[in-house]
Each structure stands twice: as C-alpha cells, then as structure tokens.
Amino acid sequence: MPFFSWLLELNLFETNATDDYSIRIQRLSTRFYISIFTITLFILSIFVSLHTMALRVEIQNPTVDLYTELEHKYSMECFCSNGSILHGQFIELVPIYHQVCSSDFVTQRWFDYLFDSGRSPFY
C-alpha cells in the first residue's frame, strides 16, 4: 500500500503553489507524462525488436542456380554489372531487314560503282 500512495502523490512538476487545484493539475500532468513516456518506450521497443536489418552481400559472377536459390530464399536486389552467363547463351539476334534496306542499291559495292571515276558515267 505505501507504493500505491507514493504513486498517487508523485509530482514531477512541483512548484511553490499551495492550492489544491494547482497540485492536482501537477499530479495529473505527471501521470500523463509518465503514461506517454511508457507508451513511447513500449512502441519503440516493439519497433526495434521487429525491425529487420538489411545486410548487403556482394557475390561476384553468380551462377543461375545460385541466383535462383537466393531469390527464393531472400527478397533481394541484384546490381549485376557482369554475369557469369554470356548473352549469347540465352539470346539470339537475327535481324530481318526491309526490302529497301537489303537491296543491292544501298551496299558499299554499289556506292563504289557509282562514284568510281574510271567506270561510272555518273561520277
């Protein structure tokens, strides 16, 4: 019971005031302050305990199997500057040109023929 009475009379904001109203306001302010402080500490401790730490690990030239395994295990970002798989192993570029672009009239051989002073009348 002495702890409870001490807690009821606790006043962190004591002044020289002697009237009951001022003392009551000071004690209410103390209770409010302690309540807000306790709630803030509780929320902060929950946040710190649930906060996950980001760890950056750099793996040079990962294989596809290793990348797939790590991708399934962790949520991660890949800042790959070079990979261990060459692009030619999984992509093939076969250009298909328009008829005009694949014509003999746009080849270097045709331009040489047109502007050769010895053979062409168009020079």
Look up residue 109 and give its amino acid. R
Per-residue model confidence (pLDDT) at position 102: 77
Residue 120 has pLDDT above 70, yes or no: no
What is the C-alpha to C-alpha distance for residues 20 and 9, in angstroms, rounded to an integer?
A: 12
* Per-residue pLDDT tens over the stretch 15-74: 788 888 888 888 888 889 999 999 999 999 999 888 777 777 788 887 888 888 888 887
- Residue 90's domain comprises 64-114
Same domain, 110 and 69: yes
User: Is residue 105 in a domain?
Assistant: yes
Per-residue model confidence (pLDDT) at position 80: 61
Q: Maximum Cα–Cα distance for the chain, whole Å?
A: 120
pTM above 0.85, yes or no: no
Per-residue model confidence (pLDDT) at position 36: 95
What is the C-alpha to C-alpha distance for residues 37 and 69, in angstroms, rounded to an integer?
A: 45
Same domain, 70 and 34: no
Q: What DSSP assignment string belongs to 54-111? A: P-----SS--HHHHHHHHHHS------SS-SS-GGGT--------TTTTSGGGSHHHH
User: Is residue 59 in a domain?
Assistant: no
Per-residue model confidence (pLDDT) at position 105: 81
User: Is residue 104 in a domain?
Assistant: yes
